[in-house]
Chains A and B, each alone.
Chain A
C-alpha cells in the first residue's frame, strides 16, 4: 500500500503568528479553498521534510479553545478531532505559541496536547519576547509538556529547519497516549506554573505597544488619528495610482494600435479592439488603485492597528446596534464585499453578523472605484481645495462617506426591525504591534490582485464580449446609428423607460445589465458602447471619460454616482451572501432594499441638481 502524503495542521491562538509561519514553511505554494459545507477558508500549502518528502500543511483558524464559540473555532475543533467529514485527521500538529504571551497560549496548547496527536510546538516570535525583556527556556518547556519545543521567528525564517527536523522525528514514533482533558481553570493554573518554570529572566522593559497605545487609543487623539489615516488612504488611492494607471492605459492603447495596424479590418479585429481591449482594458487600468487600497488594509492588519481601529469604532458602531468587531469586515468591504462578508464569521452574535452582511455592500468596494473614477475625472475639475487636498479626492471621500452613513442608517433600522435582538458584546484581543513583513504583504497582495485579474479575464470579459455581440447585431442600415439598431439598443430603450425619471440616459440603461456581473463592467460596457458607436478603436478609460464628459449632463453624472453608492450590482456578492446566510431569503431582501435605495437616491440627486441649475 502506498503511503499517502502526510497531513500536518498548524493550530494555535489567534495572533500567535500562525499565518507568518505558514507562509515561511510553504512559500507561495498555497491553495485557498473552502471547507466542504461551511464557508470557513481552508488554507493549505506544501512543505518539504528534511528528506525532501512533500507534506501537506493546513493552517487552521486561530482558536482560544476546543469549546467553539464561532464557526471558525468549530472547524478547528472538528479537524483536529478527526470529526470533520471529508477531511482526514492530521497526522501531526504544529502548535504555534507566541513566546511573549506564553501563559495565555499554553492554555489552549494543553487542550490540544490532550488529544494525543504527535505534536511539535513552535515557540514563535521569540525575538519580540526578548525585545520586551522575556527570555524563555525551550528545553524546560519541552520537558514540562512532553513534546519537542522549537524556538522560531517565522518572519526571519529562523528555526524552520529545526522545526522540519522535529516534525520528521515524529514520523513513526509511537503515538502519545491521549491525556485526560482537564478543565479551563486547571489548565490556566498549570499554564502559569509551566510558564513560570520556563521563564529564565524577565525584565520590566517599557513595552513599545504601551507607548503606542497611549497615543493611538487616546480617547481624543486616537479617533482623530484614525480619521486622518483613513482620509490619507483614500487620497493616496487616487494620487499614487495615477502614474501606474497611465502606464497601463498607454500599454492598452499601444496594443490596440498594434492590432489595428497589423490586421485587416474585419470581425476578428473588431472583437479584439472593441470588446477585449476596450472592455477588459478599461477595467485592468484600475488594478493599481485596488492594489494600493489592499496594501493599506493588509498593513493595518499586519501591524495590529486594525484591532485598535475596531476599539475606537466600537462606540460609534454600538449606536447602530453593532460592535467594533463589525468594523473589520466593513473596512475589508472597502476593497471587496466578498472577503468582507466572509470576515463576518468572526462575529459571534448571529444577528450582529447578519446585519453586518446586509450592510457590507454599502461600503464602497474597489469595483466601484473605476465607475467613480471615470465620472469624477469627467465632471469634477482637477483643482486644489487646500494643501494636499484635491477636489477630486474630496469628492471621492464624500462618496465613501455617503456609503458609510447609508450603512449606519440601514444597520440602525435593521437592528430595530428585521434583525431585532439584544446587542451583543465586544470582546476582542488587541494584539501587540509588529512591523509588517514584506513577504507576507506581497503574498497577500498577489492573491488579491490575482482574484481581480481573474475576474477581469472571465466575468468581465464574458459580460463585455456578450454586450459587444448584442451591440454589433443586427447591422445598422444606412443613416441609422449602430447602437440604435442593435439588440442591446432595444433592451436599453426598454430599461430606459424605468430609469429615465432618475435622469439616466439610454447608454447608462444599457450598461446597467452587464454591470450586474460586476460593478466595474459599467465602465467597460460604456467603453464598448461608445467604441461601437463612434467606430473609434481605442476606447480606453481615458476615452470613456472624454465620451462621458461630452455626452452626459452634470445632474445625470451625479445621479449615476448616487446609484452606484447603493446599487447591489454584483452577482458574486449576492452569491456569497446566499452561502453565508444559508438561505435565499436574506440575499433577496438585500437586493430589493439596495435597488430601492439606489433608485430613490439617484432620483433625489438628479432632481436636486436640476433644481439647483447644475
Chain B
C-alpha cells in the first residue's frame, strides 16, 4: 500500500520510493526531508474541508506537508496495530 491510503494516526514504515513517478526535483526534496526507504512515518492530518489534500506526515521528529501525488509514490508497510499517534512522541 502507499502512504496516501494510510489513515490519520496510523503508523508505517516506508519500504520503497518510486522516484520515477514524480518530478526529479520533488523526489530530491522528499528524500532531503527524510521521506526515504526505512523511515518511520505517521499521518498527522489529512486534507482541508473533507478533501484529501494536502497530507501532513510525521517523519522522525518533523512534520512535513506533501500532496497525495507524492504520497502515492511512497510504498509503506503499516505497523502491526493502529494507535493514536502523539505526533512523533
Contact = CB atoms under 8 A, between A and B. Distances in A.
A103 B60 contact: yes
Given A64-B32, A188-B34, A205 B56 contact: no
Contact of A217 (B33, B36, B56): B56
Given A205-B89, A220-B49, A314 B60 contact: no
A430 B64 contact: yes
Contacts of A207: 86-89
A219 interface: yes
A65 B56 contact: no
Given A204-B86, A204-B89, A223 B26 contact: no
Interface in A304-333: 307, 310-312, 314-316, 318, 323-324
B7 interface: no
Contacts of A65: 28, 32
A312 B48 contact: yes
Given A188-B34, A210-B89, A425-B67, A315 B49 contact: yes
Contacts of B62: 101, 104, 429-430
A161 to B, nearest CB: 28
A213 B87 contact: yes
B11 interface: no
Chain A interface extent, by class: 35 or more
B88 A314 contact: no
A64 B88 CA distance: 21
A311 B61 contact: no
A219 B54 contact: no
Contacts of B1: none
A425 B26 contact: yes
Contacts of A188: 34, 36
A315 B56 contact: no
A575 B2 CA distance: 46
Contacts of A428: 64-65
Interface string A89-102: 00000000000111
B45 A210 contact: no
Contact of B29 (A209, A210, A427): A427
Given A213-B44, A314-B53, A430 B65 contact: yes
A104 B62 CA distance: 8
Given A104-B60, A324-B65, A219 B48 contact: yes
A224 to B, nearest CB: 10
B45 A217 contact: yes
Given A210-B87, A213-B44, A315-B49, A348 B25 contact: yes
Interface in A326-367: 348-349
Contacts of B65: 307, 310-311, 314, 324, 426-430
B70 A427 contact: yes
A219 B32 contact: no
Given A188-B34, A206-B89, A315 B44 contact: no
A207 B31 CA distance: 25
A429 B64 contact: yes
A425 B72 CA distance: 12
Contacts of B87: 207, 209-210, 213
Contacts of A480: none
B66 interface: yes
B29 A69 contact: yes
A213 B28 contact: no
Interface in A185-223: 185, 188, 204-207, 209-210, 213, 217-220, 222-223
B22 interface: yes
A426 B88 contact: no
A101 B60 contact: yes
A348 B48 contact: no
A347 to B, nearest CB: 11
Given A69-B29, A425-B26, A223 B63 contact: no
A222 B48 contact: yes
Q: Identify which of B31, B37, B45, B65 gathers the most chain A CB atoms within 10 Å of its CB.
A: B65
Contact of A213 (B45, B61, B70): B45
Given A65-B32, A430-B64, 11 more contacts: A101-B62, A104-B34, A107-B34, A185-B37, A207-B86, A218-B45, A314-B67, A318-B53, A349-B25, A424-B26, A425-B69
24 contacts: A65-B28, A65-B32, A107-B32, A206-B86, A206-B89, A207-B88, A210-B44, A210-B88, A217-B45, A222-B48, A307-B65, A311-B45, A315-B48, A315-B53, A324-B54, A348-B26, A425-B22, A425-B26, A425-B69, A426-B54, A427-B30, A427-B65, A430-B63, A430-B64
What 7 A-B pairs are tightest by C-beta distance, nearest first?
Answer: A210-B87, A64-B32, A430-B63, A204-B89, A217-B45, A425-B26, A314-B54
Interface of B: 22-23, 25-26, 28-34, 36-37, 44-51, 53-54, 56, 60-67, 69-70, 86-89
